[in-house]
Amino acid sequence: MMRLAFALTMLLCGSAAAQQAVDKGTGAVLRGLDKVGGHVVDMTLRNGESSSLGRLTVRLGECRYPEGDPAADAYAFLTVEEEGHEAPVFQGWMIASSPALNAMEHARYDVWVMRCKTD
């Protein structure tokens, strides 16, 4: 449902942000939270790499940011899989400034994008 809302918002939005040129980062910094234990971990991944967060595997497809401004709003394509589950827990674009727009819904873990890497 959230993905549909996001897609419709992007289609209907005529804002400069939706039409802005972007650059592709070499990776991203993601933040993970174990809600039960209160543990926070930062994951620095290159495009195509993955990292573990408890029973989850977080894979970064790619990270993009507004052209010429890597410190600005990043968005990344993530695939999050959980041990013992066939379908991904989350797969799609996540936006650093609006993580709730297309959020991962999981009872124990939370993942969000911090920024793109350019080196």
Measured distance between the N- and C-terminal CA atoms of the chain, rounded to whole angstroms: 35
pTM tops 0.85: no
Block mean pLDDT (10 aa), the chain, length 119: 50 52 94 95 98 97 90 91 95 90 90 93
Half-sphere exposure of 115 (CA within 13 A, CB side): 7
Q: What's residue 69's pLDDT?
A: 81
Helix (H) or strand (E) segment spanning residue 39? strand 39-46
Sequence-separated (6 or more) residues with CB below 8 Å from residue 47: 24, 25, 26, 27, 60, 61, 62, 63
What pLDDT, on a 0 to 100 scale, did the predictor assign at position 68? Answer: 83
- What pLDDT is stored for residue 65 in this prediction? 94
Handedness of CA 82, 85, 86, 88 (dihedral sign): negative
Residue 98, pLDDT score: 85
So what's the pLDDT on residue 115?
93
Residues β-bridged to residue 57: 52, 81
pLDDT of residue 22: 92
